[in-house]
């Protein structure tokens, strides 16, 4: 199709509207590849930035997706309730073994039934006068403060880690603001930034976390907020070291930026609880989720940080959900203090560590070396993402494509990077797929063999 001939309004909005109209009318079908940015810009007589802006707008609403060197293609009709990158991760045929989810093994979660029974006995009647009382039950706040990696001015609970990040960004970043994010990073975070009208500034990683030189460039480019995962990074498994935390803090002291730490796997991570909080007083919002350790259905994440951010967050939330279910808060208190639940989480942490090691060793037997990392995911380098996915599908195994994890839309996903000294960096910028190793049990040898075949040229 000669797309340029259909465009009347040559602004980014006009170009995007034309493509959307052609998709709705069936002239452009799912899987159709759009012209390159430079090609269409030349045909229309506009700058590449104009076409790029149109492509970004279409991507943000889930009409197209950039697949790096494979180009920009039209997406299938969406499940309207799923944001674009969630759809990209959720798509695909059913598989014999689904290692794409990034979710915990349900068999390793502590039993919630006994906790519910105990809480019901302790609280036989609902507290109907609780609308304007503190949003965190006192027993939970005590537990959180005792275990927090630094002394926060305020602490509250919300409905999951992404809810915490969203509400924090709404408080501290205006439309069009720049936010430094890890590259690769968490795809739903990128969807969230798009929905909030915030601009991503990618920051590359190495084996110790965000690279200080890359963070400096992002801050120099105007990023006023930094979102990072301090341990068990999704998708790479990287954990920030104490030395790297000090290096990043030194960079941040030269700039006026807030840090949001997403400790999504803290209770099942083997790495130490390293944070920038003590190094940057009143500039760190730390988020701790309990979904992977105690169960996604609890929908509880704790948020601790400066009063200037948290007070406004709580006030705004009072005009929406009001508070996170106090019943579920009491259930979490029970799970955090009951000896059998504590041991269940500790057991899960040991099992996940063992599963990562077993897959790493099995892959090494096939000539593939990966970093041990932490958490429930492995970031597997492959020669070609699409080929790897097809080969694994034929083997009855499903993994997550790597492209959605790229903060820049996949344009660097096939390139090697170098570290600050000019040598090979951690290969986070090559083609990859994400494997949820936390779900790999006794079939580890079969999985490793399939992954090795999928990764080969």
- Report how far residue 69's alpha carbon sits from residue 410's, in angstroms, rounded to the nearest whole number: 8
pTM (global) more than 0.85 = no
Rounded Cα–Cα distance for residues 10 and 6 (Å): 10
385-421 pLDDT, tens digit each: 989 998 998 899 999 999 999 998 654 433 333 333 3
Phi-psi group of 228: left, alpha or beta (phi > 0 → left; psi -120 to 50 → alpha; rest → beta): beta
List the chain domain ranges. 3-77, 86-107+341-455, 113-338
**Average pLDDT across the chain, whole number:** 90
Question: What percent of the chain stands above pLDDT 90?
Answer: 76
Strands of 97-99's sheet, edge to edge?
97-99, 397-401, 432-435, 378-381
Q: How many CB atoms lie within 10 A of CB 198?
A: 23
How far apart are alpha carbons 328 and 283 in whole angstroms? 29
Residue 275 and residue 287: Cα distance in Å, rounded?
11
Identify which of 419, 439, 429 has the alpha carbon closest to the alpha carbon of residue 376. 439
| H or E element that contains 183 | strand 178-183
CA 209/CA 230 separation, integer angstroms: 8
Sign of CA dihedral 35, 40, 41, 46: negative
Q: Which of 9-18, 140-149, 212-221, 422-431 has the lowest mean pLDDT?
A: 422-431
- Angle between helix axes 339-364 and 326-337 (nearest 10 degrees) is 70
Check whether 226 has a pLDDT greater than 60: yes
Range 420-425 contact pairs with CB under 8 angstroms and sequence separation of 24 or more: 420/211, 420/212, 420/213, 425/204, 425/206, 425/211
The whole-number pLDDT of residue 148 equals 97
Given a contact cutoff of 8 angstroms between Cβ atoms, the answer to whether 34 and 19 are in contact is yes
CA distances from 291 to 14, 266, 375 (A): 42, 10, 13
Does domain 113-338 fall into CATH 3.40.640.10?
Answer: yes
Give the integer Cα–Cα distance in Å for 282 and 253: 12
Amino acid 79: pLDDT: 61
In this prediction, residue 414 carries a pLDDT of: 33
pLDDT at residue number 416: 37
Fold of 3-77: Arc Repressor Mutant, subunit A (1.10.10)
State whether residue 284 is helix, strand or coil. strand
pLDDT (tens digit, 9 = 90+) per residue, 186-218?
999 999 999 999 999 999 999 999 999 999 999
Per-residue pLDDT band at 429 (split at 50, 70, 90): low
Convert the pLDDT of each residue in 247-259 to its tens digit.
999 999 999 999 9
Q: What is the pLDDT of residues 28-82, one digit of tens each?
A: 988 899 999 999 999 999 999 999 999 988 988 788 988 877 789 998 776 667 7
pLDDT confidence of residue 94: 66
CB 353 within 8 A of CB 191: no
- pLDDT value of position 87: 72
| Residue 78: predicted pLDDT | 61
Q: Using one digit for the tens of pLDDT, what is the confidence trace for 323-357?
A: 999 999 999 999 999 999 999 999 999 999 999 99
The CATH class of the 86-107+341-455 domain is alpha beta
Average pLDDT over residues 421-426: 38
């Amino acid at each position: 199709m000669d797309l340029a001939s259909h465009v009347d309004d040559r602004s980014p909005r006009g170009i995007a509207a034309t493509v959307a109209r052609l998709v709705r009318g069936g002239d452009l079908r799912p899987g159709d590849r759009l012209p390159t940015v430079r090609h269409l810009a030349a045909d229309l007589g506009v700058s590449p930035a104009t076409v790029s802006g149109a492509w970004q707008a279409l991507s943000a609403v889930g009409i197209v997706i950039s697949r790096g060197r494979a180009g920009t293609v039209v997406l299938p009709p969406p499940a309207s309730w799923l944001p674009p990158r969630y759809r990209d991760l959720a798509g695909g045929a059913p598989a014999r073994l689904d290692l794409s989810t990034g979710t915990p093994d349900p068999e390793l979660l502590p039993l919630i039934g006994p906790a519910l029974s105990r809480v019901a006995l302790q609280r036989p009647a609902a507290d109907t006068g609780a609308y304007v009382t503190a949003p965190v039950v006192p027993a939970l706040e005590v537990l959180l403060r005792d275990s927090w990696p630094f002394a926060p001015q305020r602490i509250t609970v919300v409905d999951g880690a992404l809810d915490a990040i969203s509400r924090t960004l709404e408080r501290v970043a205006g439309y069009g603001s720049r936010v430094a994010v890890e590259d690769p990073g968490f795809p739903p975070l990128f969807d969230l930034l798009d929905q909030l009208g915030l601009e991503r500034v990618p920051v590359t990683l190495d084996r110790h976390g965000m690279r200080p030189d890359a963070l400096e460039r992002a801050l120099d480019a105007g990023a006023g907020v930094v979102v990072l995962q301090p341990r068990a990074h999704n998708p790479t498994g990287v954990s920030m070291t104490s030395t790297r935390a000090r290096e990043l803090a030194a960079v941040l002291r030269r700039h006026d930026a807030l840090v949001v730490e997403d400790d999504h796997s803290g209770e099942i991570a083997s790495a130490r609880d390293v944070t920038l909080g003590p190094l940057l007083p009143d500039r760190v919002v730390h988020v701790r989720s309990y979904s992977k350790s105690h169960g996604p259905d609890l929908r509880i994440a704790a948020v601790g940080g400066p009063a200037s951010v948290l007070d406004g967050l709580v006030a705004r939330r009072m005009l929406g959900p009001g508070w996170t279910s106090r019943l579920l808060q009491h259930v979490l208190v029970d799970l955090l203090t009951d000896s059998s639940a504590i041991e269940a989480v500790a057991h899960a942490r040991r099992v996940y560590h063992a599963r990562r090691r077993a897959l790493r060793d099995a892959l090494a037997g096939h000539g593939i070396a990966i970093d041990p990392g932490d958490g429930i995911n492995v970031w597997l380098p492959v020669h070609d993402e699409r080929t790897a996915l097809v080969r694994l599908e034929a083997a009855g195994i499903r993994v997550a494509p790597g492209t959605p994890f790229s903060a820049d839309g996949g344009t660097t996903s096939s390139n090697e990077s170098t570290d600050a000294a000019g040598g090979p960096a951690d290969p986070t910028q090559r083609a990859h797929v994400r494997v949820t190793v936390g779900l790999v049990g006794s079939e580890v040898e079969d999985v490793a063999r399939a992954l090795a075949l999928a990764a080969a040229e």
